[in-house]
Structures are given as structure tokens and as C-alpha cells.
Amino acid sequence: QQQVKQSPQSLIVQKGGISIINCAYENTAFDYFPWYQQFPGKGPALLIAIRPDVSEKKEGRFTISFNKSAKQFSLHIMDSQPGDSATYFCAAIFQGAQKLVFGQGTRLTINP
Amino acid sequence: NAGVMQNPRHLVRRRGQEARLRCSPMKGHSHVYWYRQLPEEGLKFMVYLQKENIIDESGMPKERFSAEFPKEGPSILRIQQVVRGDSAAYFCASSPSAREQAFFGQGTRLTVV
């Protein structure tokens, strides 16, 4: 019940295309859903986050779509660039806690 | 304003030895979290500490692993009698309070040979 399932495991997108990564969760006690970007040899860095009372949040080329009834959320990267090539993790956190539950990660490659 | 500092960045230990991983949180941060990342997997929560207190250790293996965050100095994750399966990247994160964003360090990559 504490799992967050992420797909796909890897993704290749052409430069300028849209990258879409999906996550699903079971536990409705989660109340905060961040996405992290990780480059090789680095720690995860917060990219964008959303709360379940909002259906969409956009920051620049990055958008989170949230479907509370389906318990799913996704990251969309518009106009994908080679510099976006990294591993992306979705995560979820319980209200009042700080323990992040991470998805398995998606290795994104943007071909020039 | 330095970020979360972890050292060493890489650590090689023989089976049966002890590994000590250090984490210095960002200035003003009194909450520290440790996560483990196995190859090709997501990060798994291990332990959450405040100064001198362990708040949540639900992700810590019951044996050989311990963590501390003393009043002075860095947080330490200690792994005794390491085994091959302990080989992973260990990440530390810190935050100023329980409800604020945590920032991650660059990790310590432990290799057990």
C-alpha cells in the first residue's frame, strides 16, 4: 500500500518532442507528490510538485497532471531537450511525515 | 551557502569491515534523512533524524545498520560487517523543518568487495 509504481522504465524521445512519465499509487493518505530529476553521479533534485487538490501544475516546460480518482499522476516535458536526459523519479509523501516513497525511476534519453 | 555535503563520495570496503558514511546538512537544517538506492532502482527510505533523536527508523535493516545525528557534527550512517548486498548509493537529505522541502546530497557510493 505504500508503493508508487512508475512507468516506463526507460524512454527515448526525439528533441522537441513530448516526454511523458506515469505514476500510480494506492494509499490515499499521500498528500504531496514531487518529481525528482537525477543526473549520473548526482543526488536527486526536486523538479516540480503537486498536491491532490490540484489537477495540473505547470512550471516552464514541465507539467504535472494529477487524477485523484484514478490515483495516477504524470510528468510531461514539452519541447524535450538533450539536457533533459536524466533519470526521473516520482514520489509521494504522507501528510505530517517526511518519508518520501519513490517510484522505480525512468531513464529518459532525448536524441538530438 | 553550501548544499548537503556527503563524504566520502566513494567508499570501498571488504566483506566484514565497517562502513561509516557522513552527512553534513545545509546550514540551518536540523532534520536529516537517509535513503538507499540499489542499482537500477528507486530510492528507499532508511531513517529520519533530528538533532540527537531518531524520529523514524522504519526503513533501517534490523541488524548491522545504525544512524546518529549528534548535537555537534555530521550525521553518521554506520554499517557493520558489510556484505555484498550492502553495495549501493546512500543519499542524505536535510530540511529546516518536518514540513519543508528536503534537499539531497550527492551521495556516497559504497562498494563491498
For residue range B58-98, list pLDDT tens digits in order. 999 999 999 999 999 999 999 999 999 999 999 999 998 87
| CB contact B35 to A (< 8 Å) | yes
Residues in chain B: 113
What mean pLDDT is reported for chain B? 93
Answer for the pair A14, A22: CB distance below 8 angstroms, yes or no. no
pLDDT value of position B101: 83
Look at residue A9 and tell me whether its pLDDT is greater than 60: yes
> Across the interface, do A43 and B105 touch by the CB < 8 Å criterion?
yes
Shortest distance, CA B14 to any CA of chain A (angstroms): 22
- Give the separation between CA A105 and CA A86, rounded to whole angstroms: 10
In tens, the pLDDT along A44-96 reads 999 999 998 999 999 999 999 999 999 999 999 999 999 999 999 999 988 66
Look at residue B1 and tell me whether its pLDDT is greater than 80: no
Question: What's CA A80's distance to the chain center, in Å?
Answer: 15
Among A2-6, A105-109, B23-27, the least confident range: A2-6
- Give the separation between CA A57 and CA B37, rounded to whole angstroms: 28
Look at residue A6 and tell me whether its pLDDT is greater than 80: yes
Q: Where are the beta strands (DSSP E) in chain B?
A: 5-7, 10-13, 19-24, 31-37, 43-50, 53-56, 65-68, 75-79, 88-95, 103-104, 108-112
Look at residue A112 and tell me whether its pLDDT is greater than 60: yes
Nearest CA in chain B to A3: B44
pLDDT value of position A20: 98
pLDDT value of position B83: 97
What mean pLDDT is reported for chain A? 93
> Across the interface, do B43 and A100 touch by the CB < 8 Å criterion?
yes
For residue B108, the number of C-alpha atoms closer than 13 Å in the C-beta half-sphere is 27
Shortest distance, CA A23 to any CA of chain B (angstroms): 13
Q: Where are the beta strands (DSSP E) in A1-112?
A: 4-7, 10-14, 19-25, 30-38, 45-50, 56-59, 62-67, 72-77, 86-94, 100-102, 106-111
Q: Taking phi first (over 0 means left), then psi (-120 to 50 degrees means alpha), and beta for anything else, what does residue B13 get?
A: beta
pLDDT value of position A1: 57
Best residue in B32, B104, B106, B109 for a mutation probing chain A (most A CBs within 10 Å): B104
Residue in B4, B98, B107 nearest the CB of A98:
B98
pLDDT value of position A96: 66
Residues of chain A with pLDDT > 70, as a percent, come to 96
Residues of chain B with pLDDT > 70, as a percent, come to 99
pLDDT value of position B91: 97
| CB contact B25 to A (< 8 Å) | no
